[in-house]
Amino acid sequence: MLTKKGKYGLKAMVHLAAREPGEPSLVSEIAEANNIPKKFLDTILGELRNAGFVNSKKGKGGGYTLARSAHLIRVGHIIRILDGPLAPIQCASKTSYRRCDDCTDERHCGVRILMLEAREALATVLDNRTLAEMRAAAQDDELILSYVI
Amino acid sequence: MLTKKGKYGLKAMVHLAAREPGEPSLVSEIAEANNIPKKFLDTILGELRNAGFVNSKKGKGGGYTLARSAHLIRVGHIIRILDGPLAPIQCASKTSYRRCDDCTDERHCGVRILMLEAREALATVLDNRTLAEMRAAAQDDELILSYVI
DNA sequence: CCCCATCCTCACGATTCAATAGGAATTGCT
DNA sequence: AGCAATTCCTATTGAATCGTGAGGATGGGG
């Protein structure tokens, strides 16, 4: 489940991606444009900054900018920072594996095997999509999106 | 995120799938075999029964059995009952859609479009796998599992 | 009628989530 | 130097959810 923190963070990143590179955005501006509580967004952008996704500048004329080109920022990475691992269950995570304490034989745990598949499917989507693509998809009236039921 | 309720429920279902059809299992037996708190499993199986996935019988010789063949039970359905919709965000859910209150223009929301893709990827895995397949995967030393990175 | 096992309701502590509060630190401008 | 703008930090709060346990009601089998 994507939390509001994750959702707000992604929206903020999309907002930044829509800017001329180097042109800073204010927290208050991003918050207002996306209906996000300002103070909450404040802490979210702080985390994204600590993680190296955005740069910040204080004082007049300050604000936030993307630290890298939107083409180089993968959506899955952002979500991991804000909401934790993608895997539905920790014993199926690759970036932050942890054993289930109730599982005696992990190799024959059907749940885990299934969740490895699920994680793989999720990661395939989220780790291949970049911020630039996400923004483009939003602008182009969903043309890019092609379902394969 | 799969909660413990979901995990325990799936494990219990796998346990039942490993039985001769019609042969009932006791809650205490399932709980012990899978390291699940008995009382908790009690309520979980109750929900699965209300949802029509398992049948129950009280008294001596009672217990739980699958309501249908394990080939006909899709894992995604079980998870939806126990943990709610698969979609990472409600505005991207097909089974229980709900609009985001902070989103003014849903059609151009990059986050939602991306999450529709993510939901699709997840559902493709979970709604196509049956309980029988999950059980088989666990027994066959993960042979069935084939990653496509 | 008596065991056995499911069924039901309630309650609880812990954790996480979402948001708010209040102010400290830094920068730019004049 | 002084002021205003803006990020940065820490703590708190209220609400919801999660995981679990207690106690007993219900109903079938013998």
| Residue A49 clears pLDDT 70, i.e. is over it | yes
CA distance A85 to B37: 26
* B6-41 residue pLDDT tens: 999 999 999 999 998 889 999 999 999 999 999 999
- Exposure on the CB side of residue A29, measured as CA atoms within 13 A: 13
Supply the pLDDT for residue A147: 43
Supply the pLDDT for residue A23: 95
Instruction: Find which of A2, A16, A94, A112 to mutate to test the B interface (most B CBs within 10 Å of its CB).
Output: A2
Give residue B79's pLDDT band: very low, low, confident or very high (50, 70, 90): very high
List chain B domain ranges: 4-66, 75-129
Domain B4-66 fold: Arc Repressor Mutant, subunit A (1.10.10)
- Residue B20: partners with Cβ closer than 8 Å, 6 or more residues away: none
Beta bridge partners of B65: B55
Q: What integer is the mean pLDDT of B69-98?
A: 97
* A83-110 residue pLDDT tens: 999 999 999 999 999 999 999 888 899 9
- Residue B78: partners with Cβ closer than 8 Å, 6 or more residues away: B6, B9, B10, B13, B48, B53, B131
Supply the pLDDT for residue B83: 97
Supply the pLDDT for residue A132: 96
Amino acid A74 CA to nucleotide D15 C1' distance, rounded Å: 33
Instruction: Find which of A113, A115, A135 to mutate to test the B interface (most B CBs within 10 Å of its CB).
Output: A113
Give residue A140's pLDDT band: very low, low, confident or very high (50, 70, 90): confident
Supply the pLDDT for residue A21: 87
